[in-house]
């Protein structure tokens, strides 16, 4: 079922998550960059820039939340909800670029035989980063569950990949004293992890923009609801979803006896539309077809 959270709720949680992320990431960026420079570690410096990219993604979340909360206007009759999807796609692209950079730098380090000189400072800073970033990820996932906003889920994954990359850095610090190639190898491993996160984020953002089919369980649920309202089998079909952030448009066809008057058919479709909105939060538009010609349209997709 679609999320029925209001734009004000999305705005409240989105702004809170965004600002907490921006401030937390900036503090961690300077801390990790300093530790990376002191220890000459590619992994720590790359990790620091990954953290800074989290600040950028959080700013994009703030912009996306602001834009998606704007009301519908003449140019955008369905509102600005897809701005939030676009924001999550931009975050995914940022992740992909960062992952590629890690891959290139890791290979370069291995080719040049360059290691790192880790110390106690690097260990302490990395542990602080792991705890802080996972805390930010948990809060972002919490706000996603509250609002259903994909950009908040994308930001949460961004935080989590940074926490996991810090775990790898910590392993590298502990083993790097014995293996010079550990720092370069970590860069490559981090890139694989970030590429995966980028794919997940991009898939979640692009899928609704391209259009999506109605899932079988939702088809069954809505069909039963329509039949119950009409008190007959109306064979709900040609179902389509159109997502605009939190605003979801649902269109479908039903079959009604041809003997019904236009007023009676209109009353039934109105009742079904109202029930779908109450049950799922989706704005429904139902087209009625007379049973005698239903099913003859070759473009009758479900």
Q: How would you write 227-254 as a 3-class SS string?
A: HHHHCCCCCCEEEEEEEECCEEEEEEEE
Band of the pLDDT at 293, cuts 50, 70, 90? Answer: low
Mean pLDDT across 27-53: 83
For residues 148 and 31, which has the higher predicted lDDT (pLDDT)?
31
**How far is Cα 119 from Cα 245, in angstroms, rounded to an integer?**
47
The pLDDT of residue 164 is 82
The pLDDT of residue 1 is 40
**How far is Cα 105 from Cα 189, in angstroms, rounded to an integer?**
11
Band of the pLDDT at 278, cuts 50, 70, 90? Answer: confident
Per residue in 65-88, pLDDT (tens digit) is 666 666 666 666 555 556 667 777
**How far is Cα 187 from Cα 5, in angstroms, rounded to an integer?**
40
Check whether 133 has a pLDDT greater than 50.
yes
Strand partners, 244: 247
User: Could you tell me the CA-to-CA distances from 38 to 44, 159, 268 in Å, in that order?
Assistant: 10, 24, 72
Q: What percent of the chain stands above pLDDT 90? A: 14
For residues 239 and 56, which has the higher predicted lDDT (pLDDT)?
239
Check whether 271 has a pLDDT greater than 90.
yes
The pLDDT of residue 250 is 87
Q: 238: closest CA among 289, 159, 173, 301? A: 301
Write the CB contacts of 84 (distance below 8 Å, at least 6 apart in sequence).
10, 64, 65, 67, 68, 149, 150, 151, 245, 246
The pLDDT of residue 299 is 43
Q: Which of 112-116, 188-192, 265-269 has the highest mean pLDDT?
A: 265-269
Whole-angstrom Cα Rg for the chain: 25
Give me the residue spans of the domains in the chain.
7-210, 216-290
Mean pLDDT across 236-258: 82
For residues 138 and 258, which has the higher predicted lDDT (pLDDT)?
138
For residues 55 and 196, which has the higher predicted lDDT (pLDDT)?
196
In words, the CATH class of domain 216-290 is alpha beta
**How far is Cα 85 from Cα 45, in angstroms, rounded to an integer?**
30
The pLDDT of residue 3 is 44
CATH architecture of 7-210: Up-down Bundle (1.20)
Write the CB contacts of 108 (distance below 8 Å, at least 6 apart in sequence).
184
**How far is Cα 284 from Cα 218, in angstroms, rounded to an integer?**
14
Check whether 168 has a pLDDT greater than 60.
yes
What are the two backbone dihedrals, phi and then psi, of residue 61, each rounded to the nearest 5 degrees?
A: -60, -45
Query: How many CB atoms sit inside 10 A of residue 234's CB?
Result: 25
Mean pLDDT across 23-44: 86
The pLDDT of residue 141 is 92
Check whether 180 has a pLDDT greater than 70.
yes
Band of the pLDDT at 274, cuts 50, 70, 90? Answer: very high
Hey, what are 228's tokens? 């119950």
Q: Is 77 helix (H, G, I), strand (E, B) or coil?
A: coil
Band of the pLDDT at 295, cuts 50, 70, 90? Answer: very low
For residues 267 and 75, which has the higher predicted lDDT (pLDDT)?
267
Mean pLDDT across 195-219: 77
Mean pLDDT over the full length of the chain: 79
Check whether 114 has a pLDDT greater than 80.
no
The pLDDT of residue 279 is 85
**Lowest mean pLDDT across 7-11, 113-117, 173-177:** 7-11
The pLDDT of residue 159 is 84
Check whether 188 has a pLDDT greater than 90.
no
Q: Are the CB atoms for 187 and 103 separated by under 8 Å? A: yes
For residues 129 and 204, which has the higher predicted lDDT (pLDDT)?
129
User: Listing from the earlier edge strand, what are the strands of the sheet with 247-256?
Assistant: 237-244, 247-256, 283-290
Write the CB contacts of 11 (distance below 8 Å, at least 6 apart in sequence).
65, 66, 69
């Amino acid at each position: 079922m679609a999320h029925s959270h209001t734009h004000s709720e999305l705005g409240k949680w989105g702004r809170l998550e965004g600002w907490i992320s921006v401030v937390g990431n900036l503090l961690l960026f300077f801390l990790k960059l300093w530790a990376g420079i002191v220890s000459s570690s590619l992994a720590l410096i790359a990790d620091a820039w990954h953290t800074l990219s989290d600040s950028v993604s959080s700013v994009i979340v703030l912009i996306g939340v602001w834009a998606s909360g704007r009301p519908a206007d003449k140019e955008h009759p369905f509102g600005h909800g897809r701005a939030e999807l676009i924001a999550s796609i931009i975050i995914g692209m940022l992740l992909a670029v960062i992952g590629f950079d890690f891959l290139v730098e890791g290979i370069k380090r291995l080719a040049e035989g360059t290691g790192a000189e880790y110390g106690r400072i690097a260990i302490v800073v990395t542990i602080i980063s792991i705890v802080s970033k996972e805390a930010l990820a948990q809060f972002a996932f919490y706000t996603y569950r509250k609002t259903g906003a994909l950009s908040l889920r994308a930001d949460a994954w961004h935080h989590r990949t940074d926490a996991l990359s810090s775990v790898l850095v910590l392993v590298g610090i502990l083993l790097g004293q014995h293996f010079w190639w550990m720092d370069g190898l970590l860069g490559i491993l981090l890139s694989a992890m970030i590429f995966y996160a980028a794919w997940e984020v991009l898939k979640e953002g692009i899928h609704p923009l391209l259009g999506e089919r109605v899932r079988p369980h939702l088809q069954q649920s809505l069909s039963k609801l329509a039949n119950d309202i009409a008190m007959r089998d109306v064979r709900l079909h040609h179902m389509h979803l159109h997502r605009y952030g939190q605003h979801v448009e649902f269109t479908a066809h039903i079959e009604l006896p041809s003997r019904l008057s236009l007023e009676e058919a209109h009353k039934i479709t109105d009742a079904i539309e109202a029930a779908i909105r109450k049950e799922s939060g989706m704005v429904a538009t139902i087209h009625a077809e007379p049973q005698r010609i239903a099913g003859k349209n070759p473009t009758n997709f479900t």
